[in-house]
Amino acid sequence: MSNQNDFTAMLADKKWVEIVEYEPGDSPEFNLPSELLNPAPGTFVAVTDSRTGAPAQSALAVCAHLGTKGVHPILNINCRDYNRIAMKSMVLGAAALGIKAVFFLPGVHQTLGPARESKNVYDLDPIQALAMTTAMKNSENGNGISILAGVQEHPLKGAPELKPFIMKKKIGCGANFIVTDPVTDFAKLDGWRKSVADIEGSADLPVFIGLSKESPDLPESVRTSGLYAGVYRYVS
């Protein structure tokens, strides 16, 4: 039986997982709601990283705080604000803190947030950040980190013909999990999942269904289809 507080074990045992996003505020206090400090078994907290482009409390600091409460969070890292030096440093710091998983996202473009005059970075894209983390895990130089790394997937957007090739890249770069964009059409989601089913490694790759407030209720047939590892509840 899996330790239901261990994200790695839950994925390895193919148990249904709930991931709930938490968005830190812009104050110096930790104000996490009690349900996130005491998550239900099989529920994990993903901490957003200045999600809207507005400066927020550091996701790494919030993850460290959660760690002191016995909660094992997922650290979100956007590609907007850091170059590969800062990202590597953050992944090493996360591993040192015992964080089990990092989730790379492009990040909302800064011109869509309140700090629109700031300069972005975009040194690496999320797949490249994933590859960087995989290389750190596999390196012989003593990085020696053990951390899961995931990226997003956009099943409802973009050219469907590209999707299998993109999935192949993500698997090739060492994705341990995939989180979809917020899903509003489960039939389309299934269409995407089937379109990438033949890619080597795809069947074993945990895919989390992204849900937002606009998402319809998750149909039981999708939940029990065996195609998905769980859900990821976006803040919005």
Partner 1 sequence: MIVGTTKSIKELIGITDRYKKILAVGCGTCITVCYAGGEKEVAVAMAALRIARKLKGGELATRESTIKRQCEWEFVEELDSMVGEVDAILSFGCAAGIQSLADRYEKTPVLPGVNTQFIGMVQKQGRWEERCIGCGDCITHLTGGLCAVTRCPKGQLNESCGGETEDGKCEVNDSLECVWFTIAKRLQETGELEDAGTYVESKNWEASHSGGLRMIEKESMLQ
Chosen residue from 42, 67, 93, 106 binding partner 1 by CB under 8 A: 106
CB of 121 closer than 8 Å to CB of 81: yes
- Interface with partner 1 includes 161 (CB under 8 A)? yes
Q: Please answer whether residues 45 and 234 qualify as being in contact, where contact means their C-beta atoms are separated by less than 8 angstroms.
A: no
Cα of first residue to Cα of last residue in the chain, in angstroms, is 33
CB of 109 to partner 1, least distance (A): 5
Q: Which stretch binds partner 1 (CB under 8 A): 45-53, 115-123, 216-224, 228-236?
A: 115-123
We find the least distance from the C-beta atom of residue 155 to partner 1, in angstroms, to be: 10
Per the rule left: phi > 0, alpha: psi between -120 and 50, beta: everything else, 70 is left
Q: Is 115 in the site for partner 1 (CB under 8 A)?
A: no
Residue 176 Cα distances to 11, 70, 141, angstroms: 9, 23, 22
Q: Is residue 214 near partner 1 by the rule CB under 8 A?
A: no
C-alpha span between 100 and 49 (Å, rounded)? 17
Instruction: Give me the residues that bind partner 1 (CB under 8 A), please.
Output: 79-80, 84, 106-109, 111-112, 120, 122-125, 127-128, 131-132, 152, 154, 156-159, 161-162, 164-166, 168-169, 172-173, 181
